[in-house]
Chain A
Amino acid sequence: MIVKYAEAQNDEAEVFNNELQIYQKADPIGTESFKRSHVIKTFHNLEPRFSLSYQLNDNTSIKGSYNRLSQYLHLLSNTSSPTPLDVWAPSGKYVKPQLLDQFAIGYFKNLNNDNYSLEVESFYKTIKNRIDYIDGADLIANDAIEQVILNGRARAYGLEFLFRKNQGRLNGWVAYTLSKSQQQTKGRTPSELGINNGNWYFTPYDKTHDISVTANYKLNNKWELNSNFLYQTGQPTTYPVGQYEYNGITIANFSDRNSSRLPSYNRLDVSLSYTPKPNKKNGYQSYWVFGVYNIYNRKNASSITFRENRNTGVNEAIKLSIFGIVPSVSYNFKF
Chain B
Amino acid sequence: MKKLIYIVILIFFTVSCEDVIDVNVPTESPRLVIDASINWFKGSLGNEQQIKLTLTAPYFENSVPPANGAQVEITDTNNNIFIFIEDGVTGIYKNSRFFPVLNETYNLTIIYDGETYIASETLKSVASIEYVDQNNEGGFSGDETELKAYYIDPADEENYYFFEFISDIPVVPSLEVYKDEFTNGNQIFGFYTEEELASGDLVTIRNYGISKEFYNYMFILLQQNSQEGGGPFETQPATVRGNCINQTNPENYPLGYFRASEVDELIYTVL
Contact = CB atoms under 8 A, between A and B. Distances in A.
Interface of A: 19-22, 24, 78-83, 85, 133, 135-140, 237-255, 257-258, 260, 299, 304-308, 310-327
B128 interface: no
Interface string B223-240: 011110011111111111
B62 A314 contact: yes
B6 interface: no
B89 interface: no
Interface residues of B, number: 66
Contacts of B175: 247-249
Contacts of B136: none
Interface of B: 11, 14-23, 25-28, 30-31, 33, 35, 37, 52, 54-62, 64, 164, 166, 169-173, 175, 216, 220-221, 224-227, 230-243, 245, 250, 253, 255-257
Contact of B14 (A239, A257, A310, A325): A325
A173 B94 CA distance: 71
Nearest to B17: A321
A329 B192 CA distance: 46
A303 to B, nearest CB: 10
The SS class assigned to the B binding surface is: loop
Contacts of A314: 62
Contacts of A78: 233-236
Nearest to A248: B173
A238 B28 CA distance: 14
Given A313-B172, A321-B16, A251 B225 contact: yes
A306 B171 CA distance: 17
Contacts of B16: 320-323
B66 to A, nearest CB: 10
B118 to A, nearest CB: 10
Contacts of B253: 21
A82 B233 CA distance: 8
A238 B225 contact: no
Given A307-B227, A310-B172, 11 more contacts: A80-B236, A81-B232, A136-B224, A238-B236, A242-B27, A242-B30, A243-B61, A248-B172, A251-B240, A324-B17, A326-B11
Given A299-B17, A299-B19, A311-B171, A305 B239 contact: no
Given A242-B28, A242-B31, A319-B18, A249 B173 contact: yes
Contact of A19 (B15, B17, B245): B245
Contacts of A307: 225-227
13 contacts: A20-B243, A81-B233, A83-B233, A137-B235, A140-B231, A245-B52, A247-B35, A257-B238, A312-B171, A315-B59, A319-B20, A320-B18, A321-B16
A320 B15 CA distance: 11
A243 B64 contact: yes
A255 B28 contact: yes
A252 B18 contact: no
Contacts of A321: 16-17, 19
A244 B19 contact: no
Instruction: Rank and list the top 5 A-B pairs by shortest CB-CB distance, nearest first.
Output: A135-B238, A242-B56, A83-B232, A310-B170, A136-B220
A322 B35 contact: no
B251 to A, nearest CB: 10
